[in-house]
Amino acid sequence: MKTESVVLIIADISGYTRFMLDHQKALVHSQMVISELLNLLVQQAGPPLEVVELEGDAVFMYAAKAEQAVARKKIGAQLLEFFAVFRRKTEELQAYSMCFCNACRNIAKLKLKIVVHSGEAVFSKIGQFNRLSGVDVITVHRLLKNSVAAREYLLATESAMADLEFPEPLEMIATEEAYDVGALKTCAYLPAAGRPVAAHKTAARPLFPSHVGREILRYEIRREYSEVANTPGKGFHFHTGGALAQMLDYEAHWCNTIPAPAVASFAGTGNPFAVGEIRRGDHVLDVGSGAGFDSLIAAHLVGPSGRVVGVDMTPAMLHKARAAATAAGLRQVEFKEGYAESLPLPDAWADVVISNGAINLCPDKPAVFREMYRVLKPGGRLQIADLVVRKAISEKAKKNIDLWTG
Ligand SMILES: C[S@@+](CC[C@H](N)C(=O)[O-])C[C@H]1O[C@@H](n2cnc3c(N)ncnc32)[C@H](O)[C@@H]1O
Which atom belonging to ligand 1 lies closest to the Cα atom of 268? 8
Q: How far is the CA of 172 from the centre of ligand 1 (A)?
A: 54
Quote the pLDDT of residue 193.
54
Number of domains in the chain: 2
**240 and 149 within one domain:** no
Q: How far is the CA of 115 from the centre of ligand 1 (A)?
A: 46
DSSP 170-195: --EEEEEEEETTEEEEEEEE-TTTSS
**147 and 54 within one domain:** yes
The answer to whether residue 155 scores a pLDDT higher than 50 is yes
Per-residue pLDDT tens over the stretch 88-99: 999 888 888 888
Distance between CA 375 and CA 394 in Å, rounded? 33
Ligand 1 site-directed mutation target among 217, 248, 287, 289, most atoms within 8 Å of CB: 289
Per-residue pLDDT tens over the stretch 7-26: 999 999 998 876 666 678 88
CB 82 within 8 A of CB 41: yes
Maximum mean pLDDT: which of 17-21, 234-238, 343-347: 343-347
**122 and 10 within one domain:** yes
| Residue 385 is assigned to a structural domain of this protein | yes
Worst-scoring range by mean pLDDT, 8-22, 144-158, 252-266, 278-292? 8-22
Angle at the Cα of 90 from the Cα atoms of 88 and 94, rounded to 5 degrees: 120
Angle at the Cα of 280 from the Cα atoms of 275 and 281, rounded to 5 degrees: 115
Q: How far is the CA of 281 from the centre of ligand 1 (A)?
A: 25
Distance between CA 97 and CA 100 in Å, rounded? 8
| Residue 228 is assigned to a structural domain of this protein | no
**170 and 79 within one domain:** yes
Q: Is the CB–ligand 1 distance for residue 294 below 6 Å?
A: yes
Per-residue pLDDT tens over the stretch 94-152: 888 888 888 898 898 899 999 999 999 999 988 888 899 999 999 999 999 999 999 99
**267 and 154 within one domain:** no
Residues 6+ apart with CB under 8 A from 168: 195
Per-residue pLDDT tens over the stretch 175-230: 999 998 889 999 999 997 544 444 344 444 444 556 778 888 999 999 999 999 99
**259 and 146 within one domain:** no
**146 and 27 within one domain:** yes
| Residue 229 is assigned to a structural domain of this protein | no
Query: Residue 336: which of 370, 300, 375, 302 has the closest Cα?
Result: 375
| Residue 145 is assigned to a structural domain of this protein | yes
Quote the pLDDT of residue 20.
67
**170 and 95 within one domain:** yes
**287 and 346 within one domain:** yes
| Residue 218 is assigned to a structural domain of this protein | no
Single-letter code of the amino acid located at 312: D
* CATH for 189: 3.30.70.1230
| Residue 216 is assigned to a structural domain of this protein | no
| Residue 223 is assigned to a structural domain of this protein | no
Distance between CA 250 and CA 256 in Å, rounded? 11
**301 and 161 within one domain:** no
CA separation (Å) from 79 to 44, 94, 164? Answer: 10, 23, 10
| Residue 214 is assigned to a structural domain of this protein | no
Domain that holds residue 114: 2-206
Q: How far is the CA of 271 from the centre of ligand 1 (A)?
A: 15
Quote the pLDDT of residue 181.
86
Quote the pLDDT of residue 206.
43
Q: How far is the CA of 355 from the centre of ligand 1 (A)?
A: 9
Q: Is the CB–ligand 1 distance for residue 271 below 6 Å?
A: no
**268 and 186 within one domain:** no
**241 and 196 within one domain:** no
